[in-house]
Chains A and B, each alone.
Chain A
């Protein structure tokens, strides 16, 4: 069964509004989660590392105020796209690091965001 869930799976919003995407670890607690962005036929681009109980670590070039990340519990991280614009339209994927056992990242099914 699924290890990581994302909600919603797709969302359409108007330009200027904010959108929140949830990522849940279903099988284990995760102190670290990751958020990626992916354009069609391209690779995954890491946006930020979400750390439970502390501030997220953003990759170079990613606007912290634009993409707000909250990791309030060991099973939930949220990504909020603030004041969304058409150029924010993309596929957003989260992943969860397994803290114990074989090193592996488990990926959510992704969220397709379309900003009109």
Chain B
């Protein structure tokens, strides 16, 4: 079975500081993608960052970067220079690439609160 585990239900960080959200997953597949999605209070799901499993280089998007450890099946998200607008629920997810529609498997989520 494919599973995603986010062990931190809630976290808080001071504005301008750095925070890391953890994620581990379990799959026997080799061809997959990993994602971090953000869901702010509006509840609109927003893609934060994407990582192809076949790429060794960690993905980076401005203040957001990941630490992808394929052997350990770990995919943590680092947010640098945290901003109040980063307050949201963050979901780690992976997508197995097949011909049947490429479903996403989500973790339970981490609520991040950025404090001023």
Contacts and interface: CB of A to CB of B under 8 A. Distances in A.
B89 A97 contact: no
B52 to A, nearest CB: 8
**What are the 8 closest A-B residue pairs judged by CB atoms, nearest first?**
A107-B45, A32-B101, A43-B106, A49-B101, A43-B108, A103-B33, A109-B44, A43-B109
A67 interface: no
Contact of B44 (A103, A104, A105, A110): A110
A44 interface: yes
Interface in B1-58: 33, 35, 37, 42-45, 47, 50
B111 interface: yes
Bin chain A's interface residue count: 20 to 34
A51 B102 contact: no
Chain A's interface: helix, strand, loop or mixed, by majority? strand
22 contacts: A41-B109, A43-B91, A43-B106, A43-B107, A44-B45, A44-B91, A44-B106, A46-B104, A49-B101, A51-B101, A57-B101, A91-B43, A103-B33, A103-B97, A103-B102, A104-B35, A104-B47, A104-B50, A105-B95, A105-B104, A109-B42, A109-B43
B103 interface: yes
Contacts of B37: 107
Contacts of A42: 108-109
A93 B45 contact: yes
Given A44-B106, A49-B103, A103-B33, 16 more contacts: A34-B104, A42-B108, A43-B108, A43-B109, A51-B101, A57-B100, A57-B101, A93-B43, A93-B45, A95-B45, A95-B104, A97-B102, A103-B50, A103-B95, A103-B97, A109-B43
B9 to A, nearest CB: 9
Q: How big is chain B's contact interface, by range? A: 20 to 34
Interface of A: 32, 34, 38, 41-44, 46, 49, 51, 57, 91, 93, 95, 97, 102-105, 107, 109-110
B107 to A, nearest CB: 7
Contacts of A104: 35, 47, 50
